Amino acid sequence: STRAEAASLFLAAQLDIPIHLGSDNQAVANKGNQIIRKTAKAERRADLMVRRPVKKHWDLQTDGDLWYQCWRQVQARGPHSIKITKVKGHATKKMVEEGKVKEEDKEGEE
């Protein structure tokens, strides 16, 4: 599931429009936002040689090949043009009615 969610982030980041991706996978939201945050920080400091935004080398990470590609896309498009939000997965109409989930999150996740 995490690999598929990371792949969707990579594919969405290739679009030439601002992206707000809703993911029901907390690990993808966390790692994606870490990549975005650290890339933005490096951009503000005008680092010409941006180090990878994670401690372990990409080859030593689970799905590191996809995360590397996501990082390169964030660098190419600019970190301020993409946002990732964790949304409730598999939300039901009843969850929306009870106020546990926002309607737009339910629709966005579907």
Take residue 3 and report the two structure tokens written for it: 């690999």
Q: Quick one: pLDDT at residue 47?
A: 62
Q: If pLDDT is split at 50, 70 and 90, which confidence band does 30 have?
A: very high
The pLDDT tens digits of the residues spanning 51-110 come to 677 788 888 888 999 999 999 999 999 999 999 988 877 777 787 788 877 776 655 555
Q: Quick one: pLDDT at residue 103?
A: 74
Sign of CA dihedral 108, 4, 28, 15: negative
pTM above 0.85, yes or no: no
CB 70 within 8 Å of CB 6: yes
Q: Quick one: pLDDT at residue 33?
A: 95
Residue 46: count other Cβ atoms within 10 Å of its Cβ. Answer: 6
